[in-house]
Amino acid sequence: MRRSSAALREERGAIERRASRKAPPLSVPAALSRGGACRLEGWLVHVVPSGQSGVPGGEGCPSAVSLLCKMAASGRRRLLSHGRCWFSQTESAAPPQSPDSLYPPIVASATAKSKAAKRRRLEYFNQRVHAAASIEEKLRLYGQLQRPKYMLYPQTFALNADRWYRSFTKTVFVPGLPPRAVSAAAKAPGAVAPEAAKTPEGAAGVAPEAAKAPAPGTAAPGAAKTPGLAAGAAPYLDMGELRSLACDALLQESFYQNKKRPYLYRDQDHTPGPFLTQLVSTLAAFLCGRNPLLAASSLDLKPEVNYYWHHGEEVVVHGHRKGRVDPVRFQIDDHPHLQIRVPKQLPEIVPLESDLGDVPVIDHKPSKLPLFKKQYENKVFIGSKVADPCCYGHTQFHLIPDKLKRERFVRANLEDQIEVLYRANGIASLFAWTAAQAMYQGFWNEADVTHPFVSQAVVTDGKYFAFFCYQLNTLALTVETIQNNPRKNICWGTDSKPLYDVVEDGSVKGFNDEVLLQLVRFLLNRPKEL
Amino acid sequence: MAAAGPMALRRVGAAAAARGRGTLLTRGILTRAAPPRHRGPLPRTPWTTRGPPPEELARAVERRPVREQVELDAVTYAGRQHFVPGLARPRFPPWDRGWHDPWHSPGPRYEDMPLYKERGCYVCHQRVRMLEGVRQAQWLTKTKLVEGLPPSVLSIVDDSAHRLEDYEERVKCAISHARLWDTTEVAPRREHYCPVLFEDLLHICRLMSMKYPSLAKRMLARNYKISATWERESTLLQVRGLNGILMNSMAPIPPVASKEEILATEEHVLETFYPISPTIDLQEVNVYKELNDTGFRDGYPYSHPHTLFFLESANIRPNRFRPEQLRAKMLMFAFGNALAKAKVLYGNDPKVLEQPVVVQSIGTDGQLFQFMVFQLNTTDLVSSDGIKNLVWIDSDQNLYEKAQCIPEVKKRVVTKPAGIYGFQPDTFKKFLALYLHGTV
């Protein structure tokens, strides 16, 4: 029902007069200012412990409460009587006017079927999200509207899925892992020269760089990861010890433990899954002395990671909304095998505005990939709720399921798609995780990240390991925000390499030290100040 | 109803419909008409007041089969090929297919199986809930119970050098993570939070290995199967199957009890609970193999069982074990592991062990913890006297009182904000002490 502007003005005048009237004798319970619990008609008042003086509403509470009481008590003319509860509040969102002006600011209508009205509604939604009181409220508002959306699966059989995923997430893929920052003081003199001999010097084992064959794309050999290495006081990483840990875990799962035959199409639950869990937990425990971040970390088994975002535009094809221009919505629901979350963030790899390559542009609709639409709850989740202190991600471990194993690709003459699978998994899972971490800190596509979010992932099928590193530089992927946004997200990744050749008769043949070393380096990654 | 005979099938609901839909309950089951029931008080005849005459009573006690009580030449309607009122109901021989159909065959009989034995064996598996609980498990394993944890473990708890107080914050975070934060729903279910809490606590314990490097020599094994056989006063007993999560270590736990305590167990008398047999609730089988298997092959480097973890994570309360039954299960499986290891080390002959085998066990349902340390002193279990095994049990330790997922609101006032209430650090200290036992 439309109301004339005159009626509006009259109502607003009435409200101002009511507000300026002296407060009627309403006993605000004195306990409220002291922080006790109290009841108020129609409003919930939280128990605020009296010790908390930092609560913003503490002092202003009584006045706000009295105003609310008046509004509730008057009853007759409610601001919210129309059912359009945002109506009055848009007046407060309008630009402030001088107090002697009688006319409201002239803005576009908020309910009309016009582009200006749509813009105004969008603006209002953005303001509501910006002004949300807590992160949970912000996430709730962000994902409030449910519409059909594309479900992205990180582990997919689709051909060239990594190119499509890069275009959806505005990611640049750089083959090889980023060069490690050289820690100046700790550059041990012997580390640069490749040492062929692995003879341990005295009690300490050999420096890890000696055993490292040049991994693709890694420029500098990288200094030793252990801190305080200059004087050689801290022990070097003992490769023999690590190798024996890894081999013990592998042999227990595949040889020593008496197991039944694996269930049909459930090979990965029989040996690779338990082996990965065992390996990561023992390595993390072994390395926590060298990496204090691991000592404060939280290990999740089979967590859930979700992210929802908009990217691009399309025209609605059928239905009652046919012909309208809608953003393209995506949702990732990922279930990594294992993940490590930490309370402090990993350092950035390259500066925020770096440009390391191009993002592929695909002219087709996402449904051609194939991707399918469904409408359900829009979830944003990193593995635990916002209240958890370990809110940043460190490393994820993904296990390739049986239906996407290498033999099937080889049988179908699709050998090149094997690496595509690993890359797509790395890009999609890490984008979802880092973006969800950024949302947990309050950023979203209108409020872009101010510092990059970095996480790592290892994708494996039990024997072949591929390592990925992701730096999230921008969350602004919607049509309005992507126009003037030069930033791109960056993903570094390797090809999949085998950890061992074969296990027979209680021994592991052809164990590959570099893969283990890379895994150890991933686990030892930490911020510079630690 | 005039057309239907006494033997005809009819729906129960028809009677209700005939009554004019008086009841809401319609049961669509098919019944035969019962003889009309007398629904008033019993008529007062000599039979009802004084009871049936003695010859009637004798006949009732006799228990002759029905077909004998009916006359032997009873004429049946088998030859007539249809029901005839007044003739007896025939019983036909079971139909024989004539050939072996694997999809419709009852399977081999127990007596024809190759492992069939006349003597029955009583098997304890993970679903066995013993009636008498720990007492029954003690009798079956010839064990003496000591309340509380042994002094060597308590010394680790009290030792301030381990700085167990630093971990309180981390443990509270772990409990909050498992009970409050780990799910996209409002509150996680027990099937979800019980294993998560266990993994988090174990992760905290493993991080202690930076102080004690020998803690790295431990390996967890899930889904492993144990087999152990022993004889106890002319009954053959077995422990079999999947049980819980086993932590193996390279080095065995040193014996907990002194020699004097072990010799003192000779005077102890095992409790019996006549008239209940000690093998109640165990599954009796006649087809079995007398097997002793630790679950791992020879040459396994982590060959000593250290701790067994039991997680009672069923959502529904009746599906979970009660604390007493859980303690009994923990005792039985700790004994099974220790016995299998002892037979591997010292052979199958029953004897008193010079180097007792120690296995620990922790059971939880996400909130209550049961701690147990078991020491196997002897494999000579046939007689009820002689040296007995020892077990120390610390039962019903609460880690926290309540985990409030959503704030409790009474009359629009928040009376109890969300969080963990009643945290007790001692329980985690005991958990950590049992983990560190043997290397510290």
Q: What are the DSSP calls for A86-143, one per residue?
A: HHHHHHHHSPP--TT--SPP----SSSSSHHHHHHHHHHHHHHHHT-SSHHHHHHHHT
Helix (H, G, I), strand (E, B) or coil at B337: helix
Q: Using a CB–CB cutoff of 8 Å, tell me whether B216 touches chain A.
A: yes
pLDDT for residue B27: 61
Q: Per-residue confidence of chain A (530 residues) as pLDDT tens digits? A: 455 555 555 555 555 555 455 544 444 444 444 444 444 444 444 444 444 444 444 344 444 444 444 444 444 444 444 444 444 444 444 555 566 788 888 888 999 989 999 999 999 999 999 999 999 999 999 999 999 999 999 999 999 999 999 999 999 999 999 987 543 333 333 333 333 333 333 333 333 333 333 333 333 333 333 343 333 334 577 899 999 999 999 999 999 999 999 999 999 999 999 999 999 999 999 998 889 999 999 999 999 999 999 999 999 999 999 999 999 999 999 999 999 999 999 999 999 999 999 999 999 999 999 999 999 999 999 999 999 999 999 999 999 999 999 999 999 999 999 999 999 999 999 999 999 999 999 999 999 999 999 999 999 999 999 999 999 999 999 999 999 999 999 999 999 999 999 998 889 999 999 999 999 999 999 898 87
Q: What residues contact A81, with CB distance under 8 A and at least 6 apart?
A: none
Closest Cα in chain A, distance from residue B181 (Å): 5
Structure tokens at B297: 């092959």
Instruction: Determine, for residues B216 and A44 on separate chains, whether the beta-carbon distance falls below 8 Å.
Output: no
Helix (H, G, I), strand (E, B) or coil at B173: helix
Exposure string for A500-523, b = 16+ CB within 10 A, e = fewer: beebeeeebeebbbebbbbbbbbb
Inter-residue contact A440 to A306 (CB < 8 Å): no
Exposure string for A151-182, b = 16+ CB within 10 A, e = fewer: ebbbbbbbeebbbbbbbbbbbbbbebbbebee
If residue A490 lies in a helix (H) or strand (E), which one and from where to where?
A: strand A489-493
Where residue B172 falls (left for φ over 0; alpha for ψ -120 to 50; beta otherwise) is: alpha
Q: How many CB pairs under 8 A join A and B?
A: 112
Reported ipTM exceeds the 0.85 cut: no
Helix (H, G, I), strand (E, B) or coil at B266: helix
Instruction: Determine, for residues A385 and B196 on separate chains, whether the beta-carbon distance falls below 8 Å.
Output: no
pLDDT for residue A289: 87
Q: Using a CB–CB cutoff of 8 Å, tell me whether A45 touches chain B.
A: yes
Residue with tokens 């503490």: A58
Closest Cα in chain B, distance from residue A268 (Å): 15
In degrees and rounded to multiples of 5, residue A470 shows phi and psi of -130, 135
Residue B297: list chain A partners with CB under 8 A.
255-258, 506
Reference A364, options A164, A170, A169, A172; nearest CA is A164
Structure tokens at B65: 């089969």
Average pLDDT across each block of 10 residues of chain B; the chain has 440 residues. List them in order.
Answer: 62 54 57 82 84 84 69 80 89 90 91 95 96 95 95 88 77 95 94 96 88 86 95 95 94 94 94 92 95 93 95 94 96 97 94 94 95 96 93 95 94 94 93 91
Q: Using a CB–CB cutoff of 8 Å, tell me whether A50 touches chain B.
A: no
- Helices and strands (DSSP H and E) totals, chain A: 16, 14
DSSP state of B386: S
Helix (H, G, I), strand (E, B) or coil at B360: strand
Residue B411 C-beta-side C-alpha neighbours within 13 Å:
5
Helix (H, G, I), strand (E, B) or coil at B323: helix
Residue with tokens 């602004």: A476
Q: Is the peptide bond prior to B275 cis by the omega test (within 30 degrees of 0)?
A: yes
Closest Cα in chain B, distance from residue A302 (Å): 10
DSSP calls for B398-435: ES-SEEESS-EEETTEEEE-SEEES--HHHHHHHHHHH
Instruction: Determine, for residues B223 and A259 on separate chains, whether the beta-carbon distance falls below 8 Å.
Output: yes
Where residue A319 falls (left for φ over 0; alpha for ψ -120 to 50; beta otherwise) is: left
Other CB atoms within a 10 A radius of the CB of residue A352 amount to 14
Inter-residue contact A232 to A204 (CB < 8 Å): yes
Residue B216: list chain A partners with CB under 8 A.
245, 282, 285-286
Instruction: Determine, for residues A282 and B219 on separate chains, whether the beta-carbon distance falls below 8 Å.
Output: yes
Q: Using a CB–CB cutoff of 8 Å, tell me whether A335 touches chain B.
A: no
Instruction: Determine, for residues B184 and A381 on separate chains, whether the beta-carbon distance falls below 8 Å.
Output: yes
Residue B223: list chain A partners with CB under 8 A.
259, 274
DSSP state of B24: S
Instruction: Report CA dihedral (A471, A472, A477, A482) to the nearest 10 degrees.
Output: -80
Structure tokens at B145: 């119970």
In degrees and rounded to multiples of 5, residue A221 shows phi and psi of -65, -15
Q: Is the peptide bond prior to A370 cis by the omega test (within 30 degrees of 0)?
A: yes
Alpha carbons B76 and B89: distance in angstroms, whole number: 6
DSSP state of A257: B
| Residues in a beta bridge with A469 | A456, A492
Q: What residues contact B290, with CB distance under 8 A and at least 6 apart?
A: B121, B229, B236, B238
Alpha carbons A125 and A327: distance in angstroms, whole number: 15
